Amino acid sequence: MDELRWIRSTSPELIPRYLVEQIKHRDFTVDDFMKYQKNLTFVSTPDGVMLNPFSHLYYLANSENMVKGILWFCVDPLTKDVIIQTYSVDKEYSKTGGAVEKLTSLIKDIVIKGNLKKIYWITNHPRHSQRHGFKKSKSVLMEYCMDEKELQKHTEVQGE
């Protein structure tokens, strides 16, 4: 893990597909993820184009600059919180536990430098995150999924 370093992405095209494919329980395709990230990387401002300050995509690269992990997080400018959306590491590095330590080190540094407050991690493995200092939030992420019948009914009512 010591050889790996974080690099802020300016292009999601360098992400190996397998790092997105191995994300369990994802509700998006690899191609949609890549397209979405491409649209989020830069923003237009009155001063010109710049890296998006609210959406961050990082690569975890080895000494040969091979991408061995990805991290995508968002910054909520209103609450000053960081929300970790996606984290995926090559299996050769994920077994030791050092991958999460590498993640938390980067995120804590960003929180301190950005004068941010909390770190939220959307995860399917809360016990794993708890072993690394994360606590269950007072807020609970809720989910509502519409089935095909309900979607069709809603569409008909809207006249679309």
Query: Which stretch, 53-67, 87-101, 126-140, has highest mean pLDDT?
Result: 53-67
Q: Is the pLDDT of residue 33 over 60?
A: yes
User: Residue 100 has what pLDDT?
Assistant: 85
Residue numbers of the domain that contains 25: 5-158
How many domains is the chain built from? 1
pLDDT tens-digit series, residues 72-116: 999 999 999 999 999 999 998 887 768 888 998 999 999 999 999
Q: Tell which residue, 47, 42, 43, has the closest CA to residue 8.
A: 42
Do the Cβ atoms of 70 and 15 come closer than 8 Å?
yes
Q: Is the pTM of this model over 0.75?
A: yes
Domain of residue 25, CATH code: 3.40.630.30
User: Residue 159 has what pLDDT?
Assistant: 66
Q: Is the pLDDT of residue 160 over 70?
A: no
